Amino acid sequence: MKTFIFVNKKDNIDDVLFEVVETKGKGHPDNICDTLAEKISAAYSNYCIENFNVILRHMIDKLSILGGGSKVKFGGGEMIAPIKILINGRFTDRFQNQRIDYMTIVNKTIEDYFKELFPELDFQKYVEIIDNTHHNQGPGVIYNEDNTTKNEREKFYEVVNKQDFERHNNHFRCNDTSTTVSYYPMSKLEQTVLEIEMTLNSDSYKKKYPWTGNDIKVMGIRKETSIEITSCVPLISKYVKDLDDYIEKLNHIKKDIHSIVKKHFKDHSIEIYLNTRDNYEQNDMYLTLIGSAVESGDEGSVGRGNRSRGVIPFSRNFSMEASCGKNPVYHTGKLFTAIGDQISKEIYEKYGLENVVYCTSRMGDSIENPWNISVELNQDTTDEVKNEIDRIVQNYIKNHYQITEKIINHEIKINSY
C-alpha cells in the first residue's frame, strides 16, 4: 500500500473566519460510557495477556447508561432511584477448561471509576450493573446438511484448543469496514475549550472548590476576532446554601473561564455564558447531588462523546467511529484512530505541516495492507518530504501491535480520560 498524499491549499486552522468546538466533561454520561468501555477493554486485555499471553476476542463498545433519580435541595438532597449501567457486548468466556469470570473485571472497573468520579454517591446502593453480554459469533457461519461447518467463526468467543488460540488475533485481519480521520495540530479554540473543561475538572480545582461538579460541557465559537463560550457547570448541592450562594459561585467560575480564554485570545472580544437554562423564579438551575445529570435521568452511550483529541471539532472533517471499547488488536475503528493520530502528530512535529490523515479499512483485509491511507496537507512540500511521510505511515502500519500495547496500557488515549 502506497500512501496517497495530496495538497488542499487552505488557511491554517487558526486563520479561518469561523470555527465551532465542543467538549463533554468526564462526568457527562456519554463520556462516562466512553471511559468505562476503554477501561474495561484494557483491564480485560491485560488480564488475558497475564494469564494466556494473548488478547482474547471481546467488544464492549455498545455500553450505555440509564440515569437514576434524585431529589435535590440547597444544602443536600437524596438519591431516589439507581443509575443503571448496561453491559452490552461480547467477551470470550472460556480458555480451554478454564472459565473466565469477565464480569468480575467489569464490576471492579466500574466501581473503581465511579468512586473516583462521584465520591458523594453510595455506589452499592445506587448503581446497578446489568449484564447484557453474549457470545454469539456474528454473521458468516454457514452450516452443512449434517449441521457441521469448517468456519472458524463458529467458536469465535471461546478457546477450546490450540487452533482456537492461534486465531484470536484474527490473523491480523481488519474486522470492520470503516474510516477514521485524524488531524494535527489542534486549533487555539480547541485547546481553549479543552483547557476550560480540564481545569474545572482537575483535582486541584476540585480540592479548592469542591462545590464544582464534573458533568461539564463547553461550547466555543470563534467569529473573526470574537470569541463566545457557553458552558454548563453543575454545582454540588451540599456545598450551596441558597440561591445567592449559587449565583456567587457561578460568577467565580465565569471569571475563571474568562481568564483561560483571555490567555489564548488576548486581542479578541470575549463573551462568556454559563448555565443559560437557569430560571431562578422557577427553581430551575444546574444544582446536583453528585455533580452529574446521570443522577437524575440523563442517558449516555459509547460513541456520542468527544473524538480522540478530546473535543468535537464541528469545523473539521472527523470520524463518527465509536472507538472506545473496541478490540484493540484488529477492530480498525479503534486501531486506525490511534495510528492516524500518531501519524498526524509526527508529520506536524517533523515538518510543520497541518494535515489530515484518512485511514479506510475493508473487512478481511490485512491490517498491514489497508485499503487506503491518505494524507491531506494544507500546503505543498517537496517530493523528499512526501517520501518521508510515506515512510512514517508504513512504519506505524508495520508496527501496529506496538500501538495495541500502548492503548491497553493507557499510553495512547482514544478519548479524553
pLDDT of residue 161: 73
Classify 29-168 by CATH class: alpha beta
For CA atoms 8, 12, 15, 18, the dihedral sign is positive
Dihedral (Cα; 35, 408, 126, 242), 10-degree rounding:
-40
Q: All 3 cell numbers of residue 246? A: 449559587
pLDDT of residue 13: 94
- Give residue-wise pLDDT tens across range 266-301: 999 999 999 999 999 999 999 999 999 999 999 999
Reduced 3-state DSSP string for the chain: CCCEEEECCCCCHHHCCEEEEEEECCCCHHHHHHHHHHHHHHHHHHHHHHHHCCCCCEECCCCEEECCEEEEECCEEEEEECEEEEECCEECCEECCEECCHHHHHHHHHHHHHHHHCCCCCHHHHEEEEECCECCCCCCCCCCCCCCCCCHHHHCCCECCHHHHHCCCHHHECCCCEEEEEEECCCHHHHHHHHHHHHHCCHHHHHHCCCECCCCEEEEEEECCEEEEEEECCEEHHHCCCHHHHHHHHHHHHHHHHHHHHHHCCCCEEEEEECCCCEHHHCECCEECCCCHHHHCCCEECCCCCCCCCCEECCCCCCCCCCCCCCCCCCHHHHHHHHHHHHHHHHHHHHCCCEEEEEEECCCCECCCCCEEEEEECCCCCHHHHHHHHHHHHHHHHCHHHHHHHHHCCCCCCCCC
What stretch(es) of the chain map to CATH 3.30.300.280?
4-13+177-186+305-408
Q: What is the pTM of this model?
A: 0.94
Specify the CATH architecture of the domain 4-13+177-186+305-408. 2-Layer Sandwich (3.30)
All residue ranges of the chain with pLDDT < 50 are none
pLDDT of residue 186: 97
Looking at the DSSP bridge assignments, the partners of residue 58 are 91
Phi and psi torsions of 146, nearest 5°: -85, 15
Q: All 3 cell numbers of residue 143? A: 452450516
The span from the CA of 323 to the CA of 412, in Å, is 13
CATH number of 188-300: 3.30.300.340
Q: In terms of Cα–Cα distance, which of 75, 25, 32 is closest to 299?
A: 32
Residue indicated by cell numbers 515512510: 391
Write the CA distances from 274 to 234, 243, 292, integer angstroms: 10, 15, 16
Q: What is the total residue count of the chain?
A: 417
The span from the CA of 397 to the CA of 222, in Å, is 36
Neighbours of 240 (CB within 10 A): 24
What stretch(es) of the chain map to CATH 3.30.300.340?
188-300
Q: In terms of Cα–Cα distance, which of 75, 68, 63, 44 is closest to 118?
A: 68
The span from the CA of 126 to the CA of 83, in Å, is 6
What stretch(es) of the chain map to CATH 3.30.300.10?
29-168
pLDDT of residue 151: 65
- Asked if 373 contacts 394 with a C-beta cutoff of 8 angstroms, the reply is no
The span from the CA of 390 to the CA of 374, in Å, is 10
The span from the CA of 131 to the CA of 170, in Å, is 26
- Asked if 169 contacts 327 with a C-beta cutoff of 8 angstroms, the reply is no
pLDDT of residue 348: 98
pLDDT of residue 362: 96
The span from the CA of 158 to the CA of 102, in Å, is 13
pLDDT of residue 148: 65
The span from the CA of 76 to the CA of 204, in Å, is 23
Q: All 3 cell numbers of residue 156? A: 469465535
> Mean pLDDT across the chain, nearest whole number?
94
The span from the CA of 159 to the CA of 279, in Å, is 58
With a CB cutoff of 8 Å and minimum separation 6, the contacts of 1 are: 369, 370, 372, 373, 397
- Asked if 332 contacts 371 with a C-beta cutoff of 8 angstroms, the reply is no
